[in-house]
Structure formats: structure tokens, C-alpha cells
Structure 1
Amino acid sequence: MNTKTTFAIGVMSGTSLDGVDLVYVKFTKDDVYNFDIIHATTIPYNKEWKQLLQNALFSTSDELESLDVLYGSYLGNLIANFIANYKINHIDFIASHGHTILHEPENGVTLQVGSGKKIAAITNKKVVCDFRTQDVKLGGQGAPLVPIGDELLFSEYDYCLNLGGFSNVSFTKGNCRIAFDICPVNIVLNHYVSKLGFAFDESGKIASKGVVNTLLLEKLNALDFYKKLPPKSLGLEWVQKEIFPLIDSFEKDIANVLATFSLHAAMQIAAIIKGSDKVLVTGGGAFNSFLMSQISTCSKITIKQQSPKIIDFKEALIFAFLGLLRIDNQVNCLKSVTGAIKDHSSGVIFYP
């Protein structure tokens, strides 16, 4: 049996703007794919970068072009430092998600900044990036992209649930992989707790002291997005248009907002995953014990805690895996997930 071994770096920046996740991973393949995360770290954004990326939605096309190059330089230098700090010698490629600025697939638009050309020039390595654009051009949502990794790397779970800026889920139904965004999570919770001077609500302690606003909860649960059938995906612009104005019109107390939105998210998530305790939960929300208890209560299941490395770095790991599939010209975008007209191999490859 021939075993193929590949070493890659995966780079991920999520909508919650916690920071840039970097993983150095070894992939092996014989009959199945296996992985070993060798090194992993998160580089938090400073205040300037956080504001720049948050406000980029309102930038002109020229400003976005400049940001693409500037952010590509930023990522390239982060990766170069990561390589130097861990004395990494063998790298077959780097796969970068970039940072999503705009995601409106219904209008044929998705934009992730972080120039792959710039990253390749700085690191002197092959780079795979821009994984979403091709799928949108093929009529898909361009998201979620992680499910192919869920299917091939985490097949022992019935549901793979990620609790990041948004919650998304993937699972097998019949012979198809189904995946979609469920609801916003940290992108909303972090927004409101920041008004108290915190980056996030550690363990959901502030939310646990709040009182649920039942009228606001009803309004949130009644949003049209939740009635749509998958494939479906969410973006920051939807939150700014639909969620923030709704919350602000019904509730001013931050603890009450956090309590209400946590229950809202738990209810939406529980409606999907109920009936199985084989649930892999990853993303920063997995450390929010108040939110996790709400999900367990609403879904009536017990969710086992995963290793911190998998919780924190699963998405960066899977983007490295998407890069591997792209370089091998294997399918990494599933039409059953995104709604594209066909399965395909997505991502643009840049050489140093």
C-alpha cells in the first residue's frame, strides 16, 4: 500500500474577528485521509486591523483592491513568522481562506481579501486561496466549504457543528452531504459585550445573569432566513441589516441581550441536531459553557467536549485540506452543500 504524505499550512480568519488561526499539518493518505496537527497558534488582531476589516464593507472598489494587497502582506508576514518560530522546514503549500468582506451569493458576489500572490512572494511558497468565487460563479452559495473535510476527516460524527461568528452544520442525508449556516452566534454576542469593554463573554458568564426578553426572542425566531431550505448562508451585512436593528429596538440591557440571543441561537441549533449525541462541536462558541448548556437543554442531548486543538483549529485544518484537494484536482466543493450546478475543485493557485 502506497501512503502519500503532504505537509501544509492552513490559514483562517473568521467573521468574529478573533484573530488569524495558523496550523501546520501533516496529511497522509492510503485508503482514507488522516491528519496530524503538528503546530497551531492564533494571532489576535490589534485594534487597527479589527476596525479596518469591520469597516471594509463600506469601502470603494479601489480601497478594497488596496486592502487585498495590504492584508495579503499582513498574512504573508504572519505566516513567515510562524514558519520561523516553529523552525518548519518542509512545506508543500499554504492554503489561506482570507477574510470575508462581502458575501451576497444571491447577487453573484463574494469577496475575501488577502492576496495569494503577495503571500506567495513573502513566504516563497505555493499558495492556494480564493476558494469561494468559483462556486458562486457556478450558481452556488460559496459556503459552507468545510463539509468536504467533515465528510472525509470526521466521518465518525453524525453532525459537525461549528460555533464561530456564525453557526454552521454539516451532516450526511441519504447519499448526500448537507450543510448550511444555521444562525449568527459570536458575531452578535461579541458585538454587544464589546460595549462593556470585553472582547467576548467568557464562558457566557454575563449572559447567564441576564433575563430573556421573550418578545425579542419571538421576533428573532420569526426571521425569514430560518424558514428557508438549504443551501443557505449568512454574512455580516445580513446581521447589520436584520439582527442589530431588531435587538436595539427591543432591548438595551447588555446581559439581557446576551441571554436572549444565546437562547435564540440554542433553539435554532437544537432544531437541527436533536436526536443524536454524536456531535462534533468546534469554534470559539464551544468554550461558552452557558451557550453549550442551552444547546444541550434545547436539543435534549449530551455533547462531549473535544480537545482544544480541534475546537480552535478545525477550520484552519480543513482549509489546508481544501488546498490539498485543489492541488490534486480533487472535488472540494459539493453541489449538495452549496447549490452549485456541479461538484468541482475550487481555489486559485499562486506560485512564488
Structure 2
Amino acid sequence: MGQQTFFAIGLMSGTSLDGLDICYAKFTRKESTWNFEILKCNTLPYSSELENILRNAIYLSSEELLKLNSEYGFYLGDQVSEFISKHHISELDLIASHGHTVFHQPQKLFTLQIGDGRAIKSKINKTVIYDFRSQDVILGGNAAPLVPIGDELLFSEFDACLNLGGFSNISLNRDGERIAFDICPVNILLNDFALQLGKKYDENGDLAKAGMVDERLLDELNQLSFYSEKHPKSLGVEWINNNIQPLIQNQKVEDLLATFTEHSAFQIAKILDEYEIQNVLITGGGAYNSYLIEKIKAKTKTEIHIPEKEIIEYKEALIFAFMGVLRSLGLNNILSSATGSSGDHSSGLIC
């Protein structure tokens, strides 16, 4: 088989609500080998109004949520249309949209990422692939993490890939099988605490550095049952509400930042050591939190790799674009070894 080339746009909105990541990439395939090149990328910060709406979408009525699903889809379509015009993009095979997660309860057989792909397509006359997670839940999986297919085929030179987003998740190959799972909350909590101090996030971890670790709270966090469960496993906002929030009393916000930074570093380093990871690629917004990275390095012998800015910020959007390409070819884009579903499968609604 000769070389095949595909151009795709990936859209990603994470639980940390940093904004919408858009990544335009070129993928080439020769036999079973894939390569990529990021051509253009942008992060579009949400307005305070939209950020607030998305943050509180979990509390909407069913009618309001259905309305938001359509409205957010049109919003995504408008943003992609402007992105295409701004960068004079002429070669484009498809748009792959993760959507924004509102509910994630795989144990109850449902997950919801809003942003109707049909609304996106109404703005751009290109193939749109969306709703990548629901099928995996129906097949008995966690529908998370999904990026391991990209780690396996695009970043195989690393022993493991660690994403520090709203939650931290890791992907690694063991005995010829790609396994992956969520480790612990990161920016979903750190950003929320920083907001209480008038900051969008804790830049370089400076706020946490100024706080004191609450040893009692730290011990309670580390004793949570999730951390003793076997993979595959995943986390969601509901888990935060049910397990983390009841533990937070009247601590100073700086102390909460210090404690949760310490907690994240401890749980991440524990996994790196448990799986004897030789080297790990770290991406996601948390890769910029130098205090958190220092804490992780101090607790593990694993070699830490922080890549260039484009990979740090757009790896997830890049991989969803890649998942869209795989879906368009009818190739498996979700690994059961990572999610726990009944088998590998090709997921995503196409319109």
C-alpha cells in the first residue's frame, strides 16, 4: 500500500474549562505506520458567561440541556468556520469533535458530551464526527481514557504518556497491550481554588507554594477507595462532588492548593513507580505548573519529558482529529484494554 494522507481538525473542550482547543493536522499512513504534523492550532478562551454555563450544565433541566446541546454545537461550528477562514485552510477531510462533558457515569451506562455534530456541520459543509464515548459505555467500558490509540500509534517512542488536564490520566504499553486509566483530579480542582483568589489558574504553582499542606486532609484524600481500585477506571465531576467536596472544610485556599498539589504529585508518582515507567511524556495545562512537576520529579525516578508548546496544549485535540480519521476508515479507534469495553471498536457518529 502506498502512502495515504489525511487532513483533519480536532476539537477539544476539557473539564478544566480553559477554552476550546482547535488543532488542524496532517496525518500520513504507510502500511501500519502513522505520522502527524500539526499545521495550525488555537485555544479560544470561553467568555465568562459561556464558561459559567458549561460549568453549571450539570444542574440544568433536560429541556435546558437539550437546548444547550444545540447552541454549543452552533458555537463550535462558528469557531471552526472562523478558524478555517483565518488560516486559509483549503485541504480538509473531516472535523472530529469531542464535545464538552456534562455527565460521565459509565457504571450507569451513560456519558454525555454536548455539542451536536449536526449543528457543527450546518456551519461547515464537511464531514463531522462526534460522540466518541457513548458507544464504549454501551459496550461495557469506561469510555475513558480515549487517547491511548493516539499514544500507541503516534507517540510510541515513550514508555508512557501522562496528561495533566482537569484529571490526570496515563497510558502505557504492557506485554503488548495498551492500558490506560485516570489517576487523580488535577486542574479541575486547582483552577477552581485559584478562581477563589481571583486567578484563572495557579501560574507555575506559585499560590500552592505559598500555602501549607493540610496533613489530615492529605491523608483522607490518599485513603479514597478509587486509588486502590484496579484499572480500567475513570473519574468525573460527579466523583468530585461525592468524594472530594465533603472533605473540604474551612481551610485557607492557599492551603487547599498546596494540599491538592501534593496529593496529585503523590498519586502520579506512585503510579509511575508501580509500573516501573522508564520515561514519560507529560502534556496538558498541568505541564506548565512547574511546582507540580518538581513535586512529581522529587517522588519518582522516572525520566520526565516536557515537549514543545504545541504538543503540551494540543495533544488531545490532535488525537481526536486522528480518531476521526480512523473512524472515517472504519478502523478501531478505541482500545478495550484501556476502557474495559467488550472489545476494540470504531466509535463516533458520522454526519
Query: What TM-score, normalized to structure 2?
Result: 0.98
Looking at structure 2, the residues matched to 243 and 139 of structure 1 have their Cα atoms a distance apart, in angstroms, of 26
Check the 8 A contact 2:195/2:201 in 1, yes or no: yes
Distance of 2:228 and 2:286 partners within structure 1:
24
Give the equivalent residue in structure 2 for 1:168. Answer: 169
Structure 2 partner of 1:26: 26
Between the aligned partners of 1:307 and 1:297, the Cα distance in structure 2 is 22
Q: Which runs of 5+ in 2 are unaligned?
A: none
Corresponding residue of 1:44: 45
Displacement of 1:241 in angstroms is 1.8
Q: Does the residue aligned with 2:111 lie in a helix, a strand or coil?
A: strand
SS at match of 1:33: strand
Q: Secondary structure of the residue that 1:143 maps to in structure 2?
A: coil
Report SS of the residue matched to 1:160. strand
Q: Give 3-state SS (helix, strand or coil) of 2:305's partner.
A: coil
Q: Which residue of 2 aligns with 1:73?
A: 74
Following superposition, the deviation at residue 123 of structure 1 comes to: 1.1
Structure 1 window deviating more from structure 2 (5-14 vs 275-284): it is: 275-284
Q: Distance in 1 between matches of 2:202 and 2:240?
A: 19
The aligned residue for residue 256 of structure 2 is 257
After TM superposition, give the deviation of residue 153 of structure 1 in Å.
Answer: 0.3
Using the TM superposition, give the Cα deviation of residue 302 of structure 1 relative to its aligned residue in structure 2, in angstroms.
3.8
**One-letter identity of the residue aligned with 2:25:** V
2:139 equivalent to 1:138: yes
Residue in 2 that maps onto 1:272: 271
1:193 matches 2:194: yes
Within 5 Å, which residues of 2 pair with 1:39-118? Answer: 39-118=40-119
Instruction: Summarize the alignment of residues 228-247 of structure 1 with structure 2, pairs less than 5 Å apart.
Output: 228-246=229-247
Identity of matched residues, % = 51
Match in the other structure for 2:5:
5
1:254 offset after TM fit, Å? 1.1
Name which of structure 1's ranges 189-198 and 235-244 shifts more when overlaid on structure 2. Answer: 235-244
The answer to whether 1:126 aligns with 2:127 is yes
Measured in 1, the distance between the counterparts of 2:46 and 2:251 equals: 28
1:112 is aligned with what amino acid? Q
* Aligned-pair CA distance for 1:181: 0.4
User: How far apart are the structure 1 equivalents of 2:306 and 2:15?
Assistant: 23
Q: Distance in 2 between matches of 1:145 and 1:191?
A: 25
**Does the residue aligned with 1:139 lie in a helix, a strand or coil?**
coil
Q: Using the TM superposition, give the Cα deviation of residue 64 of structure 1 relative to its aligned residue in structure 2, in angstroms.
A: 1.3
CA gap 1:194/1:182 in 2 versus in 1, 3 angstroms: same
Distance 1:125 1:260 in 2: 46
The CA deviation string for residues 25-70 of structure 1, in whole angstroms up to 9 with x for no partner, is: 0000103100000000100011111111111101122111111100
What SS does structure 1 have at the residue aligned with 2:56?
helix
Structure-1 separation of matches of 2:49 and 2:242: 24
Distance (Å, rounded) in 1 between the aligned partners of 2:224 and 2:210: 26
Deviates more, 1:251-260 or 1:115-124: 251-260
| Correspondence for 1:205 | 206
Amino acid corresponding to residue 27 of structure 1 in structure 2: F
TM-fit CA distance, 1:160: 0.3
The aligned amino acid for 1:164 is G
Give the 4+ runs in structure 1 shifted more than 6 A. none
Q: 1:155-192 CA deviation, whole Å, 9 max, x = no partner?
A: 00011000000000000111211000000000000111
Separation (CA, whole Å) in 2 of partners of 1:257 and 1:213: 8
Q: Which residue of 2 aligns with 1:317?
A: 318
Determine helix, strand or coil for the equivalent of 1:98: strand
In 1, the alpha carbon distance for the partners of 2:339 and 2:56 equals 27
Amino acid aligned to 2:263: H
Tell me how far 1:277 sits from its aligned partner. 4.2
Counterpart-to-counterpart distance in 2, 1:123 and 1:45: 21
Q: In the TM superposition, what is the alpha-carbon distance from 1:14 to its structure 2 partner?
A: 0.2
Q: C-alpha displacement at 1:322, in angstroms? A: 0.5
Q: Which letter does structure 2 place at the counterpart of 1:7? A: F
Q: Residues 72-98 of structure 1: CA distance to partner in whole angstroms, max 9, x if unpaired?
A: 000000000000010101110000000
Partner of 1:311: helix, strand, or coil?
helix
Q: What is the aligned partner in structure 2 of residue 281 from structure 1? A: 282
Letter in 2 for 1:35: F
SS at match of 2:37: strand
Report the secondary structure of 2:22's partner residue. Answer: strand
Contact kept? 2:283, 2:306, Cα under 8 Å:
no
